[in-house]
Amino acid sequence: MSLLGSLFSSLWYGFMWLTGVIIGVMILFKVLFIIYCKYFPNADLKKRYQTEWAMVTGGSSGIGASLVEKLLRDQKMNVVIVALEDKLLTDFTKKMQETYKDRKVVAIGVDLSNDNPETGYMKSIIEKTKDIDIGCVFCNAGFFRLAGFDKVNIEDHMKQIECNTLSYVKITHHFFCKFKQQKHKKLISMTCSSVSYFPAPFSVMYGATKSFLNSFASSLAIEGIANNIDILAYNPQYTRSNLYANSPKLSVLDFMALIGSDCDDVAQEMLNSVGKVNYRDQGLYSIFMKIFGGIVFDMNWLFPLMAMGVSMAPEFKKLN
């Protein structure tokens, strides 16, 4: 073998070895953090954050409802539920009040896509929580649209951005400012999504908003550490909830539901992570995409393949 060939061979095997080591270390740390979050004792939120109160947005159904009940039952906390003012919120709040009579449950009915400064959600949230010493905030609300980008009017796109990202920013800013002035540790948790790791055709705004949240929560976590505020960026995989109730029936959603998680499991893993880590990927899909997605799936060859697959799928043609 020539000197050039020998050098090339050494470089190639060295590169493969280094890549293997990096992936191995990433997997090892993922496994260690999963074990740590899942099997080590959970934080006592009342003790760690010196508070009796938590607030959950999107708390009347899905992950939020599971989270509310776990906070009431397991953490013995009082809870403020922020959700759309409808029968679902009324019935769920009444059920929680009747089930957990020794706890306080307060409902704030707002539309998190309405940013009107005079009648919007922030005015209501600030006004109705001004006398409540909230120490744990779980930003969890969001909604999903499955359709071609041009099939959804721009007003609905803007509402999705408002609910899925800007409400998180505004609520977080309000409480971060308050928490920063307090001497005890506080918590802000944000429900992001593993959809942010991969292109999301026909739900482009949902994927984009979750990508924003991932970066926002991750970056803020560093500031939070310096200010005695725990920030959790939590990325669940596909969750079997009402989020997709109004979506067309697609085989890809059926497949994701098959490998996805239940709301109770997702909420429990979130609480398992609080006070232990600042970033958590939940579910095998999330972990796989986080470790291998950016390494294996180069977007320049992935995009054409995905476009080809979409163009050949009859069910997606209906969305386009």
Task: Work out the angle at residue 179's Cα, subtended by the Cα atoms of residues 229 and 117, and round it to the nearest 5 degrees.
Answer: 120
- End-to-end alpha carbon distance in the chain: 56
Helix H or strand E encompassing 89: helix 87-99
* DSSP 8-state symbol, 202: T
Spatial separation of the C-alpha atoms in residues 75 and 268, rounded to whole Å: 12
* DSSP 8-state symbol, 119: T
How crowded is the C-beta side of 128, counted as CA atoms within 13 Å? Answer: 17
Neighbouring residues of 77: CB distance < 8 A, sequence distance ≥ 6:
45, 46, 51, 52, 53, 54, 71, 103, 136
pTM of the model as a whole: 0.84
Residue type, 319: L
Helix H or strand E encompassing 132: none
pLDDT along the chain (320 residues), means of 10: 68 76 77 83 94 96 95 97 96 97 96 86 95 96 85 92 96 97 94 81 88 94 95 85 60 58 90 93 73 62 62 61
Q: Domain segments of the chain: what residues?
A: 46-319
What token pair was written down for 318? 């209906």
Of 92, 189, 86, 95, the C-alpha closest to 134 is 189
Contact 262, 238 (CB under 8 A): no
N residues, the chain: 320
pLDDT at residue 309, rounded to an integer: 61
Can you name the residues that pair with 80 across neighbouring β-strands?
55, 106
SS3 of 58, please? Answer: coil
What token pair was written down for 155? 């007003």
What token pair was written down for 9? 């061979």
Q: What CATH topology corresponds to 46-319? A: Rossmann fold (3.40.50)
Q: What is the pLDDT of residues 209-267, one digit of tens each?
A: 999 999 999 999 999 999 999 999 999 887 766 665 565 565 555 555 566 678 899 99
